[in-house]
A and B are shown apart, each in its own frame.
Chain A
């Protein structure tokens, strides 16, 4: 018996022409007004990544289960894969790209994740950071249990979560103004800024020239 695919069911994907037209919407993203043309069925994740080039927000499942796509809408972390773009009109949208303060500084939460093993492959990391930043804005001193509950909509396959919890804990302390130890020894070399064209020392005339030769 020969069968033709699909077996059954009207799974027709409408071609682009059959779809409702795009409409221009004004979004407030990371403090700036952005105009984009979107379809009513577009979700915020696609708009951010494809239309606004904000690829820091990642797509792990597209179905609400991994939290990779977490962004803030009016200060609350939500899943951009389950948010219609048109319904985000009028709200303040904030993505991972806007978490760090100006320049190359990192937000304490970002720094803690980077330093305390809260990020391995990094694909889940923007989502965790958005969730954690929002949590700490609300609850400056959460217990470990509370941190675990709050991040339980974000999935990480690399870290096993414990170092994420630790990262959030460390960030919380820093945000509360407590002294936080750095993991890495800072120690960089003391070298002049700019180009360095000539040795600083004149070694042979330095008193220890002419050492033993072999």
Chain B
């Protein structure tokens, strides 16, 4: 397949990357990390830009430490890293749910957080879209899922936002105008087209994880047809800490792929001191209720919604019992 054409830039530092961005017209370029998401869309000629700026040589986006993961780090490297496995085993295991091992060797953390929203009518070839008249996230001005012209319901389908959200991670953003930090659970907003609060000229440089995260039990569960390759049909994460008497002290939950943005809810205050069993059921039900999947992925909407409760309930039970999915082989 022939990609949409572009000019490629490969800056060697964050400053160079940002100054390139400053020179190019707003919205006239895309950043590229591993390219495993972006290039699918360029192959399908979806919203391609004239310029692409590669971030793979930006040193500021590298490094994995006890506080921070560079956004340019490859997913496989992150999940294999001793620091991550030790401090945030739930994240290491969640990463094994992303795409496939081959893709995780290229795909980056930043790219995963910014993975394009997905929809049956959008993730198709130009020929296919031509037969349907295309939609407003691509070439036309109307939604084909929910016929109207305002909101795009493409599903946010990244696997890692939920787990990073429940760990209270924060994004380091840099732009020609300066830097800022945004909590992941406040980052996603809008609809399938305006997906988050990031401006086009901003780069995710790194992801900061608070010290507290390593004291939590956290994990991610994913609904999909096949263990590998498939984007989530629903995904849920939770973080948990029980007090010495076995009651809830901290409980956060998140879901992905059941709305245009991931959902994050912190139940700690509400549930503090409660018995896990009742709390878990309520949390799972509350997250299910918030889920609003649309008919634009492979599995039926009702089923995806219903599975929030089942998967999240099981995840919470597993967290309490200290069970993992065993997806990471012993060293």
In the complex, A130 Cα to B100 Cα: how many Å?
Answer: 15
In the complex, A76 Cα to B102 Cα: how many Å?
Answer: 8
In the complex, A137 Cα to B68 Cα: how many Å?
Answer: 29
Binary interface encoding of chain A residues 36-51 relative to chain B, with 1 for a CB under 8 A from any of its CBs, else 0: 0001111100000000
- On chain B, the number of residues with a Cβ less than 8 Å from chain A's Cβ atoms is 45
CB distance from B53 to the nearest CB of A (A): 11
Inside 8 A of A18's CB, which chain B residues have their CB? 5
In the complex, A18 Cα to B3 Cα: how many Å?
Answer: 13
Which of A7, A11, A153 lies in contact with B99, CB distance below 8 A?
A153
CB distance from B225 to the nearest CB of A (A): 13
**Do A143 and B100 touch (CB < 8 A)?**
no
- Residues of A contacting B: mostly: loop
Given A41-B3, A149-B327, also A63-B101 (CB < 8 A): no
Binary interface encoding of chain A residues 46-85 relative to chain B, with 1 for a CB under 8 A from any of its CBs, else 0: 0000000000000000111101001001001111001110
**When A and B form their complex, what is the total count of cross-chain residue pairs whose Cβ atoms lie within 8 Å?**
124
**Do A41 and B4 touch (CB < 8 A)?**
yes
Count chain B CB atoms within 10 A of each CB in A42, A64, A131, A151 and give the residue with the most. A64
Which of B1, B6, B74, B228 lies in contact with A20, CB distance below 8 A?
B6
Inside 8 A of B229's CB, which chain A residues have their CB? 65, 152-153
**Do B40 and A63 touch (CB < 8 A)?**
yes
B contact residues vs A (CB 8 Å cutoff) = 1-8, 10, 32, 34-36, 39-40, 42-43, 45, 52, 54, 56, 74, 76, 96, 99-103, 105-106, 126, 129-131, 133-134, 138-140, 227-229, 327, 329
A contact residues vs B (CB 8 Å cutoff) = 5-11, 13-14, 18-20, 39-43, 62-65, 67, 70, 73, 76-79, 82-84, 86-87, 131, 139, 142-143, 145-146, 149-154
Given A8-B134, A41-B8, A82-B103, 5 extra CB contacts under 8 A: A5-B130, A7-B133, A11-B129, A13-B2, A131-B101
